[in-house]
Amino acid sequence: MSPESATIFTGRLHPLTLVFGVWQGLRGIWPLLLLGVVGNRWWGIAIFATLSLGGSVAFAAFRYFSFSYRIENNELITKEGWLGRSERHIPLARVQEIRIEQHLLHRIFGVVDAQIETASGQGAEAKLSVLSRAEAERLRQAVFNRGAQVETTQAPITQPEAVLVRRLTLGELALAGLTSNHLVSALVIVGAIWQFADNALPQALRVRLRTFTTQTLAGFVMHGGAFSLRFWTAIVISVLLVSMLFSMVGSIVLFYDFTLTRQGDDLQRRYGLLTRRSSNLPRRRIQVLKIEESFLRRWLGFATISADVSGNQREDNADSKGRDVLIPLLRRNEYEKLLPLFLPDLAAPRTVWRPISPRAIKRGTMKSARLLVLLAAAWFFWQWNWLAAWPLLLIPVAYLFHRESYRHLGYAMTQKYLFTREGWLGRATRIIPISKIQGLEITQTPFDQRLGLAGLNIDTAGQAFTGGVPRIKNLPLAEAEDLARTLAHQAGLTPYRG
Amino acid sequence: MTEAGTQQALALSQPNQPPTFIPLDQRVMQLWRFSDALGYGIFWLIVLFAVLALSWFRTGWALSLLCGWSAFVLITIAWVMWYPARAYRAWSWRIDGRVLETRSGIWFRHTRLLPLSRLQHIDLESGPLARRFGLASLILHTAGTQNASLTIPGLDAAYAEQLRNWLVELGGNDVA
């Protein structure tokens, strides 16, 4: 038997799988139990609870006793079921990411949830719930070291040392929260708290609270004039303050003790105050890297970095799990130094940014101007007042905006990477390894054709967290065709390895 | 365009001289006209039925309704005659080295470039109507997100098969 075909290790779920099965069952039925206590309907509830709890215990036991996994022939193999056995083979070289999640309860018992992702783009390929911490670590090491080794050389397995790349301090996390525009999510949290209060608080207290708020509001209304301005200012400021506080707290809770380490080719992130999360991402799998400097962050000199691996799919709760960013906050002078860690051979000095066609300014200005003239005309016919012409005053502003947007838009190319950049007040820079380009598309609308311009879309295998397909707009047609051909030929020279 | 076509495409894909674009098989115009006419024909009948039913209840409307229907039929006939020819002229493809390039679109023009080493798999598709015309489409799949597949319609059925094998060969051989 050659060394590759040997079974490296076999493993089972942790016995606590059973306990967590019961916990899951309890979580599903606790409102019912509460109802039973309050409503004095003991018998029915007890029978129902026993049945459903019994069901989840049986299910957990079944999973615990029937589930096993092993690494063999450079594959991770999971086995499940008694009567209908199912075996899943996942080639180690195809593993994109291992995500480990540890809720508060998991942490007390020292166990974790592990999810193994491949490029299939259909969520986790294997879910191992729950494993002991040490076992998860062993699995991670085995998968990534073998995977990397298969792809590169047949050198003996050496354990590269983990190097700390970056740790975020509490202050930085607070700043990340303050500079994020999470006004909406803050309102959602307020709503959720209100809902919770509505469900959990005793009736009497709730009624008292409601009468208090309505009376205060009525008091404001009584005082007439003061109501309009002072009241609304107070409302706006308090909503702003509350949302800032919430997003600050949210950011700290989510990303507490954020560390990014690198072990060979493998980038590892760990973060979280209550739920600890960690994920491993081989850097050679990065399809697109995005550096985002929103207006506020750019002004303060900060940026956020996000990355996509192939097959990434945006789940509803990706943001709330912190999956969408690689590093939540970073100083501008830092990321230039860190980028070669994520994308090898990026150290070479960047070539100058090439501009798009200056016709973009006129085009954009005309578009805005048409809209503003239309608005002014509509207003004028409605009011018959010359004051209605004020939108026309915005045309110079539109011109200024489009000119600055044009100046800040551009692309650049090195031997291995394509860069695109856009945005005046806020800025987004995307870096695409040319070897990851899957296809290119030049599009021309009828307006484009009149101006001799074209847009270029650069398709890659993952675009969930970096804002859709990278696109360069308003290129002269000949330049777009040249660029597309150059990129396609260069991409064609390298085989795609996920 | 069969064996000769492949030879032509191969000869044209020399690195020093950029190959010219190759049009689709001319029969595809007939196929598009036929399938469009079929679709519109069913629609005409439905509308005609509605027109007749309405005329039954409102006799005074009958003439204007029928005139409207005939105008509609004439416009769609003109469209069915004109559009496929125009779309055919807009469609072309070529293989330049190891990159497949297609052009299409009349008002919204698209040029798509696909490095053949990115091919995941190729589908050869030929519906019942297309088979009658001896035509087939190639659908090329990549691991991409937005444009994960690229279709070349209206190829001669035998040639499409040849082309598929050739594309697989070109895509599969890694450059040293």
| Paired strand residues for A430 | A290, A420
- C-alpha distance from A374 to closest chain B C-alpha (Å): 26
- What does the pLDDT look like over B127-138, one tens digit per residue? 999 999 999 999
Report chain A residues whose CB lies below 8 A from the CB of B174. Answer: 495
CB contact under 8 A, A438 and B113: no
DSSP summary character for residue A152: S
Closest-approach residue (CA) in chain B for A460: B144
Measured in degrees and rounded to the nearest 5, phi and psi for residue B111 equal -120, 125
pLDDT the model gives residue A152? 44
The encoded tokens of residue A283 equal 């850097």
CB contact under 8 A, B99 and A489: yes
Residues of B in CB contact (< 8 Å) with A are 96-99, 101, 105, 107-118, 142-148, 150, 174-175
Rounded distance between C-alpha atoms, residue A228 and residue A285, angstroms: 56
Residue with tokens 């207290």: A205
Report chain B residues whose CB lies below 8 A from the CB of A430. Answer: none
Between strands A427-433 and A439-444, the pairing is unpaired
Nearest to B115 among A444, A463, A491 (CB): A491
Report chain A residues whose CB lies below 8 A from the CB of B111. Answer: 441-442, 481, 484
Helix (H) or strand (E) holding B86: helix B62-90
ipTM of the complex: 0.85
pLDDT the model gives residue A1? 38
pLDDT the model gives residue A139? 85
CB contact under 8 A, B145 and A462: yes
DSSP codes, A157-186 = ---PPEEEEEE--HHHHHHHHHHS--HHHH
CA distances from A189 to A55, A193, A210, A448 (A): 34, 6, 19, 45
Rounded distance between C-alpha atoms, residue A137 and residue A131, angstroms: 10
CB contact under 8 A, A444 and B174: no
Rounded distance between C-alpha atoms, residue A209 and residue A117, angstroms: 48
CB contact under 8 A, B118 and A492: yes
CB-CB contact of A258 with A271 (8 Å): yes
- What does the pLDDT look like over A135-187, one tens digit per residue? 888 888 888 776 544 444 444 455 677 889 889 999 999 998 888 865 555 66
| Paired strand residues for A270 | A259, A278
Closest-approach residue (CA) in chain A for B113: A440
Between strands A286-293 and A276-282, the pairing is unpaired
Rounded distance between C-alpha atoms, residue A163 and residue A167, angstroms: 11
Burial of A153 (0-12, 13-18, 19+ CB in 10 A): exposed
Rounded distance between C-alpha atoms, residue A43 and residue B103, angstroms: 72
Rounded distance between C-alpha atoms, residue B127 and residue B136, angstroms: 8
Report chain A residues whose CB lies below 8 A from the CB of B99. Answer: 485, 488-489, 492
Nearest to B108 among A445, A485, A496 (CB): A445
CB-CB contact of A453 with A481 (8 Å): no
Rounded distance between C-alpha atoms, residue B44 and residue A365, angstroms: 45
**C-beta neighbour count of B169 within 10 angstroms:** 10
- C-alpha distance from A416 to closest chain B C-alpha (Å): 16
The encoded tokens of residue A418 equal 């394509």
Nearest to B144 among A459, A468, A498 (CB): A459
Nearest to B118 among A438, A442, A485 (CB): A438
- C-alpha distance from A479 to closest chain B C-alpha (Å): 13
- What does the pLDDT look like over A420-472, one tens digit per residue? 999 988 899 999 999 999 999 999 999 999 999 999 999 998 887 888 889 99
Predicted confidence band at B175 (pLDDT cuts at 50, 70, 90)? very low
- C-alpha distance from B114 to closest chain A C-alpha (Å): 5
- Judged against a pLDDT cut of 80, whether residue B16 lies above it is answered with no
Report chain B residues whose CB lies below 8 A from the CB of A442. Answer: 109-113
CB contact under 8 A, A491 and B174: no
Of the candidates A483, A334, A485, the one whose C-alpha atom is nearest the C-alpha of residue A420 is: A483
Q: Which of A287, A435, A441, A458 to mutate to test the interface with B (most CBs of B within 10 A)?
A: A441
CB contact under 8 A, A495 and B107: no
Report chain A residues whose CB lies below 8 A from the CB of B107. Answer: 445-446
CB contact under 8 A, B144 and A484: no
| Paired strand residues for A132 | A111
Strands of the sheet containing A286-293, edge to edge, are: A327-331, A302-309, A286-293, A427-433, A417-422, A410-413
Burial of A410 (0-12, 13-18, 19+ CB in 10 A): middle
pLDDT the model gives residue B1? 43
Nearest to B112 among A441, A489, A496 (CB): A441
Burial of A347 (0-12, 13-18, 19+ CB in 10 A): exposed
Nearest to B146 among A469, A484, A493 (CB): A469
- Judged against a pLDDT cut of 50, whether residue B25 lies above it is answered with yes
Rounded distance between C-alpha atoms, residue A237 and residue A225, angstroms: 19
The encoded tokens of residue A10 equal 């076999």
pLDDT the model gives residue B126? 92
Q: What percent of chain A has pLDDT over 90?
A: 27
pTM for this model (two decimals): 0.80
Low-confidence ranges of chain A (pLDDT < 50): 1-4, 148-156
pLDDT the model gives residue A183? 59
- What's the mean pLDDT when you consider all of chain B? 86
- Judged against a pLDDT cut of 60, whether residue B2 lies above it is answered with no
Rounded distance between C-alpha atoms, residue A18 and residue B137, angstroms: 54
Q: Which of A120, A285, A450, A459 to mutate to test the interface with B (most CBs of B within 10 A)?
A: A459
pLDDT the model gives residue B11? 47
Report chain B residues whose CB lies below 8 A from the CB of A498. Answer: 143
- C-alpha distance from B88 to closest chain A C-alpha (Å): 18
